[in-house]
Structure 1
């Protein structure tokens, strides 16, 4: 499996009852989408063999969140995708961190 089913279940628990959310396997991971748009997903960092979250924050607090040590710009092609962040494992280890 390319991503942690345990982490996927942690996300499912939080998203349960929040409308028409779909799960889609994409990019070797799992994404959660609403109205056809990804808002959170799980993707394995191939170098470190660790799961990380992909999170859509848009412009809300992107610059502020990018300053956190567990946040990295989401970059697949050499150019950061604005409004999207990778969250490293230390950013979602605890239940409070994942809720944030």
Structure 2
């Protein structure tokens, strides 16, 4: 399972500082951060480039603006685009302010997201 544990620590520090209860769980070939029983963010490694990347569940409303950000790409985990999800490559979340931007987008969408079937 390939993901950058340092990036997970950065995410957990932000969520703890904001007093957001969360769970980190191994899945989807990486690590997923769950808030309110819904995927918020994830970390994995691009199989082609070997770059670490952030997966963010931001919803369809935020997508059109988010995709213009540096490092942001369409999430196609299954080979087809996943609505409301994006991949963010390192140039898009290396700075703390950039990482916080993606966390904020994901947290804003989280209450509207549907829970996965168990």
Which TM-score applies when normalising by structure 1?
0.90
Distance in 2 between the 1:66 and 1:55 partners? 11
Judging by fraction of residues, say which structure has more strand: 1
Stretches of 4+ aligned residues off by more than 6 angstroms: none
Aligned CA RMSD, in angstroms, stands at 1.4
Q: Contact 2:75–2:81 (CA<8 Å) still a contact in 1? A: yes
Distance in 1 between the 2:84 and 2:91 partners? 20
Superposed CA deviations along residues 40-91 of structure 1, whole A, max 9, x for unmatched, are 0101112111110000111231111112241111102221000000001100
Judging by fraction of residues, say which structure has more helix: 2
DSSP 3-state at the match of 2:60: coil
User: Structure 2: where are the runs of 5+ without partners?
Assistant: 102-118
Larger relative contact order (Cα-Cα within 8 Å, sequence gap ≥ 6): 2
Report the alpha carbon displacement of residue 14 of structure 1 after superposing the two structures with TM. Answer: 0.4
Superposed CA deviations along residues 1-53 of structure 1, whole A, max 9, x for unmatched, are 61111111111100115333111101121111122210101011121111100
For 2:81, the equivalent position in structure 1 comes to 80
For 1:10, the equivalent position in structure 2 comes to 10
User: Structure 1: where are the runs of 5+ without partners?
Assistant: none
Which TM-score applies when normalising by structure 2?
0.77
